[in-house]
Structure 1
Amino acid sequence: MSNICILTKKKKISKNKISHSNIKNKCFKNINFKKKKIWINNNFKVLKISTKSIKIIKKCIF
């Protein structure tokens, strides 16, 4: 399974890790993924979604 959120289309971003001497090394920042059970088409599906999309879902439901 890829590291892209289904709902918000978020993915990992590239950034530079900068040392004290200003040397730049490329690194990646991953997304905060959680596995959640969501009721879809009369049964539960386990989805790997970001925490931001979990907040959006909670806002829409309540």
Structure 2
Amino acid sequence: MSNICILTKKKKITKCKVSHSNIKNKCFSKINFNKQIIWVKNKFNKIKISSKSIKIIKKCIF
């Protein structure tokens, strides 16, 4: 599975770590992924989605 959320289309972002001497190094920040079991088309599916999308789903359902 790729590191892209299915619902929100979030993916890893590039950023720069800046040292005290102002040297910039590229690094990546990952997404907060969770495995969630969701009822879809008369069966349970286990999908990997971001925690932000889990909050969105809970807000819409309840």
TM-score, shorter chain, exceeding 0.5: yes
Correspondence for 2:56: 56
1:3 aligns with 2:32: no
Aligned-pair distance for 1:48? Answer: 0.2
Deviation by residue 1:38-61 (Cα, 9 ceiling, x = unmatched): 000111100000000000000010
TM-score by length of structure 1 reads: 0.98
Give the % identical residues.
76
- Ranges of 4+ aligned residues in structure 1 off by more than 3 Å: none
Unaligned runs of 5+ in 1: none
